[in-house]
Each structure stands twice: as C-alpha cells, then as structure tokens.
Amino acid sequence: MDWNEMQVQQPTVMNMLKRSIEKDRLAHAYIFEGMRGAGKKAVAMLMAQSLYCPYKQDAAPCGSCSECRRVEHGNHPDVMLLEPEGASIKKAQVEALQKELTYKGMETEVKIYIVNDADKMTASAANSLLKFLEEPESPTLALLLTENVHFMLDTIISRSQKISFAPPELERRIEMFEAQGSSKTAAALLAKLPDDVGGNYTGENSDWIVQGRALVIQLVEEVHHRPQQMLLTLQEKWLTHFKDREELDIGLDLLLFWYRDLLTVKYGQQNLAYPDLTERLEQQVILMSETEVAKRLQLILDAKRRLRANVNAQLLMEHLLLRLQEGS
C-alpha cells in the first residue's frame, strides 16, 4: 500500500496527516476510527514509515528503503504493534509495551506504537495504557485503531486526536473479502452486510454464509413457485441453519438483499448482492410491480423489528413467509 493510493481512498485523512508531518506538528496520540477495510492499519504503517524514511518526498515514504521495509515487515525495533490475543487486548500486553517504552529507542528518537482494535482492550488494559498515553517519558507516537470508537474509554478518547476514516467503497470491500478467501458470490453478500457481521464469516467461516445464501435462494423460489414446500424447508433447513437471534437476523438480511436486488434489477442498476443470479432475478421481477416488491421489503423489515422484540423465531418466519407469498 503506498501513500498515493491511500491519498485517493482517504483524501481528507491523508491531507491532514500530510500537513501535520510536513509542519512537524504531529499530536502524541491519534485514534484512527473507521470501518474494517478503510485502510487504518495501512495508514498507520505509512505514518511510521514516513517518520523514519530518509528518502521521503514531502510526507510520502519511499517504501523501498530498508527503514520502510523493516516497518512493513514488523522488524523495526522502535515500532511496536499490539493486537488482540484471542478476544481482547490483555493488561499484560499493555504492561509489556509500557516496559518497552521505558527504554530509550534502539535506533531512533521517536518510538511508535500501534494498537490495533484498540476498543478490544480490557478495562484494566485501557487504564494501564492511559498512564503512559498522555505523559510518556520520551517522545512517542501512539496510533490507536478502532472500528467502534464508542467502546473506548472516554478518558482515552479525550487524550487523543480522533481521525475518522471514510467507509471503503463497495467494490473495495468485495475485493477485501475475496482477498480473505471468500468466494466471489459470498464476497458480494458479505460486503453488503454490516461491518461487524460480515467480518465474522470470512475465510474458514465463509461456508456458513454460502449455505445461508443457498437457503435464501431456495426459499424465495418456493415462496413464489412452490408454496406448499416452503414451510417444510423453513422447518427442516432454515431454522436449523439460522439458529439464534443474531444468526436469524443475518438470514433476514440476506432475504432482504434478494428483494432489494429485485428492485435494483428492475431499474437496471449495478452492485447486486446476488450478481450471478441476474437472470433469475429478472424472471421473478417481471411478475411483480415495484409496489409489490417494496411491500415485501417492508414486510421483512417489520420482521427484523419484531425479532428484536423477542418474538418466537418459528412463528415469526412462518408469518413472514405466508405474507411474502400472498404479497400483502
């Protein structure tokens, strides 16, 4: 990832950082806040490179000198990266970082530490961090990366400069999920799901979403062409696949995307959640008016709302399917 590429993706962020670097007016701590795939970590690495690179132009590091390469490969002794161990960043990790910071820099004056998923710090870890975030012994630059800035301690937020990253474009999100090992069809779906959900079903877990997708396609087919079977499928497959409330919520999202695609196809737009099934979508949408599709979208949204109000999952789905079939 190089500076110019990020400049295109995150112009506001990059311009601001560039000015700070050029004028040598960097704050001691930054919070990079934005969705997964917005390029937070890439920018953090670029910042580190920019500080150490002897050949940088303006603020852009060269990316090929040994300093830049060492930062990129995690081999620079003065750049420390903290990532969650398991579900959270533990206090011991922050203490190890703190210990490291009590030493003078190995090669450079300014030490940099990057905390990835900073919202996943346990309360005690965050409080330990707070101790040296504000008053480090020597010059340091803290870069805290997070997807949920609101989960972080107010005291940390107030001591750092917050920089919001724009969400990545849909195409980029699709590319990202593909890069993480999801198939093309699954990636298109995942990219549309909310950020914190989509990320959980990449790589090894992508099977679940692929099966869910197949179920949605089957169910919609049955709703419109073989209604006598749909309740059976619901009972046998749907409810065993989307087991709890959160999973069912994702199931309803997938269903919602189908009907949204119907509407999109009708108006000839791009960016489908089911791009490989355009023909089937077109066939189905011929039989329905826009209002009918919109009504069904409304029904699914209603179901999603009711799900949150603790309605029995089976009753909810049966009710939804019958009404989808009737179209009223």
Partner 1 sequence: MHFVIQREQFVHSVQHVNKAVSSRTTIPILTGIKIDTSSEGVTLTGSDSDISIESFIPKTDEENEYVDIKETGSIVLQARFFADIVKKLPGDEIEISVQDQFATTLRSGSVVFNLNGLDPEEYPRLPKLEENQTFSLPQNLLKDMIRQTVFAVSTQETRPVLTGVNFENDKEQLTCTATDSHRLAMRTVATETDNDELSISNVVIPGKSLSELRQILEDTNDHVQIVVTDSQVLFKFKHLLFFSRLLDGKYPVTNNMIPEQSKTTMELSTKDLLHSLERALLLSKEAKNNVINFKTLEGSVIEINSVSAEVGKVTEKITCQSLEGEDLRISFNGKNIIDALKVIDSEFVHITFTGAMSPFVIRPGDHNQMLHLFSPVRTY
Residues in the site for partner 1, rule: CB under 8 A?
66, 69-70, 73-77, 80-81, 95, 98-99, 101-107, 137-138
Compare residues 115 and 219 and give the one whose CB is closer to partner 1.
Answer: 115
Question: Smaller CB distance to partner 1: residue 118 or 288?
Answer: 118
Nearer to partner 1, 145 or 187 (CB): 145
> Which own/partner contact pairs does 15-22 have at CB distance under 8 Å and 24+ positions apart?
16/163, 17/43, 17/47, 17/59, 17/163, 18/58, 18/59, 18/60, 21/47, 21/50, 21/51, 21/59, 22/58, 22/59
Helix (H) or strand (E) holding 152: none
Q: Which residues pair with 32 in a beta bridge?
A: 145, 163
What residue type is 21 in one-letter code?
I
**Angle at which helices 206-225 and 313-326 pack, to 10 degrees?**
50
Distance CA 218, CA 236 (A): 13
Is the Cβ of residue 93 or residue 202 nearer to partner 1 in the bound state?
93
Q: Cβ 137 to partner 1, closest distance in Å?
A: 4
Residue closer to partner 1 by CB (options 145, 149) is 145
User: Among residues 17 and 143, whose Cβ is nearest to partner 1?
Assistant: 143
Nearer to partner 1, 135 or 279 (CB): 135
* Distance separating alpha carbons of residues 288 and 290, to the nearest angstrom: 7
As measured in angstroms, the least distance from the Cβ of 30 to partner 1 is 21
CB of residue 66 vs partner 1: minimum separation in angstroms?
A: 5
Q: How far is the CB of 102 from partner 1 (least distance, A)?
A: 3
Query: Cβ closer to partner 1: 76 or 90?
Result: 76
- Nearest distance, CB of residue 125 and partner 1, angstroms: 15
DSSP-derived secondary structure for 108-138: -S-EEEEETTGGGB-HHHHHHHHHHHHS-SS
Q: Measured between alpha carbons, how far apart are the two ends of the chain, in Å? A: 51
Neighbouring residues of 258: CB distance < 8 A, sequence distance ≥ 6: 216, 217, 220, 273, 274, 281
**Exposed, middle or buried, 57 (CB in 10 Å: 0-12/13-18/19+)?**
exposed
Q: How far is the CB of 74 from partner 1 (least distance, A)?
A: 6
* Nearest to partner 1 of 136, 212 (CB atom): 136
- Least CB distance to partner 1 at residue 107 (A): 6
Ramachandran category for residue 121: left, alpha or beta (phi over 0 → left; psi -120 to 50 → alpha)? beta
CB of 12 to partner 1, least distance (A): 32
**Rg of the chain over all Cα atoms, to the nearest angstrom:** 24
Q: Are 33 and 3 in contact (CB under 8 A)?
A: no
Backbone φ and ψ for 48, nearest 5 degrees, come out as: -60, -45
To the nearest whole angstrom, how small is the minimum distance from the Cβ of residue 87 to partner 1? Answer: 20
